[in-house]
Structure 1
Amino acid sequence: MSEQTIARRYASALFHIAREQGTAGELAAGLERVSNVLADDRDFRRVLYHQLIPVRAKQKLVDTIFPGLAPVLKNFLHLVLARGRERALPEMAAQFRRLVDQAEHILPVEVTSATPLGEDILAGLKERLAATTRQHIRLANRVNPDLIGGLMIRLGDRVLDASLKKKLELLGEHLKKA
């Protein structure tokens, strides 16, 4: 079974429990926090993924590093560790966030620009996207100096590329054909 299938099943089970309890947003934030620490802390990742370290020691480590987790999420993480599915945790967090976003009609949008955008520009963009898509928008701004100028907007699985880099590439292709 693929890691993505496993993650989808675990995330779905956690989502059903979270929806019953009304804690989906809280659990999503906690699970993302665990996933971010896994991504950022090499030593934590090494210990959690190590096959020879006992499950109970891994569970205690998670409890120590994340003391304020909701009991449901704590139990979920203990189950994941007991079943040896810790490598799928980042994908579980992503799948769980997708389920929460779908339920709450939130569209994750990633705006990439050559330089950091001001809060007023981001707020205006968020407002326009919300009006256009008729959904709530969760906006994330990334900076990529390679774009030179303009924006690249990722709406779910759609990408709107209005960057200067893309325009120059298109111009180059057009000139080659001429």
Structure 2
Amino acid sequence: MSIETIARRYANALADVVTKTGETSVIQDELKQFERIMFENKNLHAVFSNPAVPSNQKSNLLETLLQKTQPKKTTANFLRVLLQNHRLDNLNVVNNSFANLLEERAGLVSAEITTAQPLAAEQQTALRQKLEQSTGKKVVLNFKIDESIIGGVLTRIGSTLYDGSVKNQLSQLKQEIIKA
């Protein structure tokens, strides 16, 4: 079973709990904060991902971190469950799955837009409307700049990539010339 499938199960269970308690955004923020702490400190991540480190040491370390950060009980318990099931080192995948699931339940979808240069506000609006029309959902756009694509737009929605970059078009043209 893939880590994405496993992460979605954890995310689904957590989403069910936080939806009932109304703590959705707080828990999401706390988990993101804990992910930052864990992945910015390579030693910390190494301890949680190393099977040779005894479980009680990992548990003590987690409890120390929880005492210092003072998260909500739901967050703390969720992190304990991940640790107990040897999944705490996959917190980033679980968090991504959790965020996607919450968006999905809210009728939203995230789109990562990569362009060579920043888009004007009118272009952003037109792109959002086109994506909303094609997905049938409200679209949240996240923009990135990558000059290597030369021009055009790369759009990633979930695991699907729509490559409208000039770089890709030139590559396809090159392949056609080679075949001819």
TM-score range for the pair, normalised by the shorter chain length: 0.7 to 0.9
Structure 2 CA distance for partners of 1:120 and 1:30, relative to 1, 3 Å: farther
The one-letter code matched in structure 2 to 1:40 is E
What is the aligned partner in structure 1 of residue 175 from structure 2? 173
Q: CA deviation at 1:120?
A: 5.2
Q: Is structure 2 residue 65 aligned with structure 1 residue 61?
A: yes
Identity of aligned residues (%): 25
Structure 2 residues without counterparts, runs of 5 or longer: none
Partners of 2:131 and 2:4 in 1: how far apart? 30
Q: CA deviation at 1:54?
A: 4.0
Structure 2 CA distance for partners of 1:40 and 1:54, relative to 1, 3 Å: closer
Does the CA-based 8 Å contact 1:4-1:91 persist in structure 2?
yes
Q: Secondary structure at the match of 1:84?
A: coil
What is the aligned partner in structure 1 of residue 13 from structure 2? 13
Q: CA deviation at 1:110?
A: 0.6
The one-letter code matched in structure 1 to 2:149 is L
Partners of 2:106 and 2:176 in 1: how far apart? 43
Partners of 2:66 and 2:87 in 1: how far apart? 14
Give the count of matched residue pairs. Answer: 176
What is the aligned partner in structure 1 of residue 116 from structure 2? 114
Q: CA deviation at 1:41?
A: 2.9
The one-letter code matched in structure 1 to 2:43 is D
The one-letter code matched in structure 2 to 1:100 is L
Structure 1 residues without counterparts, runs of 5 or longer: none
What is the aligned partner in structure 2 of residue 157 from structure 1? 159
Partners of 2:125 and 2:27 in 1: how far apart? 26
* 1:1-178 correspondence runs (5 A): 3-50=3-50, 51-52=53-54, 53-64=57-68, 66-67=69-70, 69-118=71-120, 121-178=123-180
Deviations 1:8-58 (A, max 9, x none): 332222111112123333323332332344333323323433524341222
Partners of 2:66 and 2:116 in 1: how far apart? 38
Does the CA-based 8 Å contact 1:48-1:58 persist in structure 2?
no
User: Alignment RMSD, CA only?
Assistant: 2.5
TM-score for the superposition, normalised by structure 1: 0.82
Q: Secondary structure at the match of 2:9?
A: helix
Q: CA deviation at 1:118?
A: 4.8
Structure 2 CA distance for partners of 1:132 and 1:56, relative to 1, 3 Å: same
Partners of 1:26 and 1:119 in 2: how far apart? 30
Does the CA-based 8 Å contact 2:153-2:163 persist in structure 1?
yes
